[in-house]
Structure 1
Amino acid sequence: MESESLKYDLKKVPKNRLKAWFGNFFYFYVMYLLSLQLFIYLIYKSLYEKSLVSGAILAFICTYQFYFAKRSETFIKFIKWLNFTQIFEDWTFVMEEPIQEKNSMIAFHPHCIFNIAFIWNNHINYEITPLASRVIYNVPFIGIFIRWLGISTVDAKNMKNKMKKGQNIGLLPGGFEEATLTSTQENRVYIKNRKGFIKYALQYGYTVYPSYAFGENKCYFTIEKFLSFRLLLNRLKLVGAYFISKYGWIPHHNFGIHTVIGKGIKLPQIVNPTQQDVNKYHEIYLEQLIQLFNKYKKEYNQGDQILKIY
């Protein structure tokens, strides 16, 4: 990868607002909201009204999702063509160095609501396998779109299988808890006790790249009260983030989203890392993430904010 390709700025790209708005409607309403409503409707018709037709449709779609749906280059090209990020005032992407061709792990922050930067950058700026929660992966109907995007699950078995092969992967270490912490007023990450990704990176000798998307926390109004209770819901694998924008599920867009991927942290391969090993390199990762945030925060309109660590 040439050095000039390490930075991408949407301001330099001609915008098609109408297509971008259609892309947002498709991505946030068709892929998520309408798909969920269709699933609930078919469940209701099948169980309450005993509709054989609805039951057959539900069974057919779920069978396709769980046994046949997979990454679709055609669907990914369609999402790229929609380019829904063009509704934002600006969209930049910076890599401090090229990503290795194998044995690379990109750790994204913050999760926020729809992790827009995570999904978009995976398919536009480099080719990695994005890993996400099994919950969203297995939600009927929504899971079809997730599979078409080439997203896989972040569970231990799947991660180990991919890392044994040296595949490059991207993940959101903060998970649901980091989504729950989303605040328009502060930059927050949930990482203190998230160390599993470091353990696996040590076991397979991966290079870990810390990444931060400045501005994504402003996409939605969120409920910030009752945080302890909402984090408790996350432990039960329930949603703890509640959000809305003035456009419903389509995000606010009168600002920029700026993603920076920092320099890689080359970890030694330790087949059986001790807790001390994990703690040591987790601390290095955390220091690098904070340094990355502090380095770019003024450039990307965060003023003197500090990165709050949970």
Structure 2
Amino acid sequence: MPCLKQPTHFQSLILLQWPLSYLAMCGRHSAWVRNWCAWTHLKNYFPITILKTKDLSPKHNYLMGVHPHGILTFGAFCNFCTEATGFSKIFPGITPHLATLSWFFKIPLVREYLMAKGVCSVSQPAIDYLLSHGTGNLVGIVVGGVGEALQSVPNTTTLILQKRKGFVRTALQHGAHLVPTFTFGETEVYEQVLFHKDSWMYKFQSCFRSIFGFYFCIFYGRGFCQGSNGLLPYSLPIITVVGEPLPLPKIEKPSREEVDKYHALYMDALCKLFDQHKTQYGCSATQKLLFV
């Protein structure tokens, strides 16, 4: 019988990536990391809170739209990646996962740190894995992505959502319920310097995004001294409102019309959620969500 060759060092590294890839998919939680006291200090700095409008049953899986992106997505991070605001007590039986850029999981230690908080890759295989293994999983996707970060300035409610329909198709394929969320105050904690699309700086930002996957934003907040500017965010309230889940049928190969139908229903639900709470959390009664 022919002898099997021993794998080379390079082949061994490739084989090692398979279990790591699956760990990145499932977002291995660590209760110890999610309960670090640092997250409580972060929550109290702004402060950050989460508001439940409806219960989420552990018998279903959920795909949650996170809006808006903001500069650093403080609200979604604190509410869904840590226990600082008491997610497990507010939504018992639900395991949260917040999806982020896939290339983070190629960096040793950073990968393990992210997985410990339940963060998963935003890649399609990772989301499919979570929505097809058991129930009680909630996957949060910042639908507007890095493009929305570049539009993050105070007093704006513009969301990149009009043509973002992939998350609806994924939810239909798995029969996952869609959950709209809106984080009030997310765009208020930093000021951002915006550049005209014809400027060299905007072209540099676009080039930077094509290489690294996110925009090079120039932003500022408060400094250590009173009245000074710096990189500390303004200590303003951040409130994430979790809306009522929208049940979806399970359709293995949804048509364009079916995706469009439930995408429109999701946008309507998000608008209603925003309108119901906007005056309570700092927006004017006439302010509307703008979808681009």
TM-score (norm 1): 0.71
Q: Is the contact made by 1:93 and 1:259 (CA closer than 8 Å) also made in structure 2?
A: yes
Instruction: Give the CA deviation at 1:256.
Output: 1.2
Partner of 1:84: 42
Work out whether 1:290 is the aligned partner of 2:268.
no
Partner of 1:246: 222
* Distance in 2, Cα, partners of 1:260 & 1:173: 16
Work out whether 1:147 is the aligned partner of 2:115.
yes
Matches within 5 A, 1:180-219: 180-219=150-189
Which is further off, 111-120 or 71-80?
A: 71-80
Of the candidates 248, 265, 276, which is equivalent to residue 246 of structure 2?
265
**Residues paired across the two proteins, number:** 245
**Paired-residue identity, %:** 23
- Decide which structure has greater helix share: 1
- Cα separation, partners in 2 of 1:302 and 1:148, compared to 1, 3 Å: same
* Distance in 2, Cα, partners of 1:226 & 1:140: 37
Partner deviation per Cα, 1:205-236 (whole Å, 9 max, x = no partner): 11111000001101111122335755676466
Of the candidates 117, 124, 138, which is equivalent to residue 156 of structure 1?
124
* Distance in 2, Cα, partners of 1:302 & 1:139: 40
**3-state secondary structure, aligned to 2:154:** coil
Partner of 2:56: 99
* Distance in 2, Cα, partners of 1:252 & 1:207: 35
- Cα separation, partners in 2 of 1:293 and 1:234, compared to 1, 3 Å: farther
Which is further off, 74-83 or 289-298?
A: 74-83
* Distance in 2, Cα, partners of 1:284 & 1:232: 35
Q: Is the contact made by 1:107 and 1:171 (CA closer than 8 Å) also made in structure 2?
A: yes
**3-state secondary structure, aligned to 1:245:** strand
TM-score (norm 2): 0.75
* Distance in 1, Cα, partners of 2:169 & 2:40: 38
Q: Is the contact made by 2:172 and 2:250 (CA closer than 8 Å) also made in structure 1?
A: yes
Structure 2, unmatched stretches of 5+, are 1-16, 89-94, 224-229
Partner of 2:10: none
